[in-house]
Structure 1
């Protein structure tokens, strides 16, 4: 199947990124089509994650499902924000696609692992965040060509956005408790 072949290549690409191999990019389709495939796969796995999380209470309504997919999509905006801010601060020409395409596959792995771990061992999710931060650091070093400090700052910034955006959205749009008299 094409989905599993694409995911297998992405896994090989991420192994190459973590190892520091120079030819890591050959495992990813670094193009607009490759980005579209990564986005479709992300939202496919996000939909599966939502179905898994709501299996005991039933699939949410169309509106609830749409909101859940938008919240899951904030991960991609966090990655994009981290990349754009780092690129703006650091001089040089770094391709957005070289960072986004593998980054989305890292978010897919995070989504899959997080969905499984949250069902069996919720507190272990902190280790998953550390793992994702490490992957983002490696992405910054390999795809961005950034120094250790810049890659670390990129990873921290992206993780802050990744964790902070849904919380901020919840606080801004959530119900407000009435003050006690």
Structure 2
């Protein structure tokens, strides 16, 4: 039941954050165990997403499942890389977990919603999910760190751009690896 409580608190916390209400931080367990819980749920969501996509084709092997989970974890990797770079540039001292834990829950929703949009509506509408993710990351950066607007926008934009670039690079590498010589 801890997982359901964590998800419920994350939804309430994000609702409060987007509404500009105080107390949103208390809805997230911003500790190492809280991060571990968020990452475990994130891994489960990516696993389910890979399995759901595979239902229509063939049962994937272990390597295909792990590769799919890795590809779906790219938003989290991009966000952490940009966060660490931004903190380094602005010489921030704010706790990393204040941003990483809520962002992990937002990225779970992003993976599910982006996947639904891509499969139900089509590729070009996915750009809206990227814009929504950028907005969520901007609001989180403003609320969690107190960074100026320009820095928060830069953080959000760079995270989404890195996500797109990482996916494009992965796609290019996979098509090179799969092409006959």
TM-score in same-fold range (> 0.5) = yes
Corresponding position of 1:150: 151
| Matches of 1:121 and 1:173, distance apart in 2 | 25
- Conserved? CA contact 2:135–2:156, under 8 Å: yes
Corresponding position of 2:141: 140
| Matches of 1:88 and 1:96, distance apart in 2 | 12
| Matches of 2:27 and 2:60, distance apart in 1 | 36
Q: Secondary structure of 1:54's match? A: helix
Name the Cα RMSD after superposition.
1.7
User: For this pair of structures, how many residues does the alignment match?
Assistant: 179
C-alpha displacement at 1:23, in angstroms? Answer: 1.5
- Conserved? CA contact 1:74–1:165, under 8 Å: yes
| Matches of 2:14 and 2:105, distance apart in 1 | 9
1:62-86 Cα distance to aligned partner (Å, 9 max, x none): 1111111111122211010111111
| Matches of 2:176 and 2:51, distance apart in 1 | 25
Displacement over 3 Å in runs of 4+: 176-179
Corresponding position of 2:116: 116
Corresponding position of 2:80: 80
1:128 paired to 2:121:
no
C-alpha displacement at 1:115, in angstroms? Answer: 2.1
- Conserved? CA contact 2:38–2:105, under 8 Å: yes
| Matches of 1:59 and 1:150, distance apart in 2 | 44
| Matches of 2:49 and 2:61, distance apart in 1 | 15
Corresponding position of 2:41: 41
Scaled by the length of structure 1, what TM-score is found? 0.92
| Matches of 2:136 and 2:15, distance apart in 1 | 10
- Conserved? CA contact 2:3–2:37, under 8 Å: no
- Conserved? CA contact 1:10–1:105, under 8 Å: yes
C-alpha displacement at 1:2, in angstroms? Answer: 2.8
- Conserved? CA contact 1:53–1:115, under 8 Å: no
Comparing 154-163 and 169-178, the one that deviates more: 169-178
Corresponding position of 1:16: 16
Corresponding position of 2:171: 170
Comparing 73-82 and 25-34, the one that deviates more: 73-82
Comparing 135-144 and 59-68, the one that deviates more: 59-68
C-alpha displacement at 1:175, in angstroms? Answer: 1.6
Gaps of 5+ in 2: none
C-alpha displacement at 1:170, in angstroms? Answer: 3.0
